[in-house]
Amino acid sequence: MRELILIGIGTGNPDHLSFEGARAINAADLILVPRKGPDKADLADLRREILARVLSNPAARVVDFDLPRRDAENPDYRAGVDDWHAAIARAWAAAADLPGADRVALLVWGDPALYDSTLRIAARLPVPPQIRVVPGITAIQALAAAHAIPLNEIGAPFMVTTGRQLREAGFPPGCDTCLVMLDGSCSFETLPPEGIRIWWGAYLGMAAQILEAGPLAEAGPRIIARRAAARAEHGWIMDIYLLRRSV
């Protein structure tokens, strides 16, 4: 592997793929498709749908590989993530170890540069290749578009954070708007709801997309119920939400 091409593919709508991304797919010798288990088969299926639409290079090979899972029982979160990333890097290297696979592409959910570890994992490859990144639509953009809202108030900042940070530190200081990603625990429940509105979305860009919005005290319970039902139905969930305090 001389070059690793990381192609952002958006949040679930194949139309999110850019023309640049389509060209990058067709420039690859090998395209790796991760399998995350039967409960997340939708994610691999979406990648295959994109390839069926745009891949016209007959010489390009498509190879599926099993993605290692993180040890969620490890009490040391950072150490567990480090071990997981190292295992993924080994899986990439093994899957790409094919004759003529000089340019290898990975289709990355959302964008490789925002709350995604693909670039960190690439740095762990035993022989570091040249890295090329093709940006994609992020869950943040998809959420704002789905609700038809601006991300920021006029001239005001906003913060992007995680559910873990929201639980441990509360509403970020210094701004009245925050976007919360990677939250598997509905961490907005830990906030005093008075004066806070929420805009929530799951499976953004996909046919299964669901949205909720309103004052946190009213919308919070609806989100918790819909999130639990959707996770039970699909076996997995990806969601994101924006919180805004009234000023």
Mean pLDDT, residues 71-88 taken together: 85
Distances (CA, A) of 220 to 113, 202, 215: 29, 14, 8
Q: Is the pLDDT of residue 222 over 80?
A: yes
Tokens of 145: 């578009």
For residues 130 and 143, what is the distance between their CA atoms, to the nearest angstrom? Answer: 32
Residue 50 DSSP one-character state: H
Q: What is the pTM of this model?
A: 0.88
Tokens of 128: 């570091």
Residue intervals in the chain for CATH 3.40.1010.10: 3-137
For residues 16 and 110, what is the distance between their CA atoms, to the nearest angstrom? Answer: 9
Question: Which residues are paired to 10 by β-bridges?
Answer: 110
pLDDT at res. 213: 98
Output the 3-class SS for 122-174: HCCCCCCCEEEEECCCCHHHHHHHHHCCCCCCCCCCCEEEEHHHHHHHCCCCC
For residues 234 and 176, what is the distance between their CA atoms, to the nearest angstrom? Answer: 33
CATH number of 3-137: 3.40.1010.10
Residue intervals in the chain for CATH 3.30.950.10: 140-245
Question: Which residues are paired to 196 by β-bridges?
Answer: 245
* Straight-line distance from the first to the last Cα atom of the chain, in angstroms, rounded to the nearest whole number: 53
pLDDT at res. 72: 75
Mean pLDDT of the chain: 93
pLDDT at res. 22: 97
Q: Is the pLDDT of residue 247 over 70?
A: no
Strands across the sheet with 210-215, in order?
159-162, 177-181, 239-245, 196-202, 210-215
Q: Is the pLDDT of residue 50 over 80?
A: yes
pLDDT at res. 126: 86
Kindly report, residue by residue over 168-206, the tens digit of the pLDDT. Answer: 999 999 999 999 999 999 999 999 999 999 999 999 999
Nearest to 60 by CA among 94, 92, 100: 100
Mean pLDDT, residues 209-213 taken together: 97
Mean pLDDT, residues 138-153 taken together: 96
**Pairing outcome for strands 3-8 and 239-245:** unpaired
Distances (CA, A) of 36 to 61, 214, 240: 20, 34, 20
Tokens of 9: 């593919």
Tokens of 105: 């592409």
Q: Which residues contact 182 (CB under 8 A, 6 or more apart)?
A: 115, 162, 163, 164
Kindly report, residue by residue over 155-175, the tens digit of the pLDDT. Answer: 999 999 999 999 999 999 999
CATH number of 140-245: 3.30.950.10
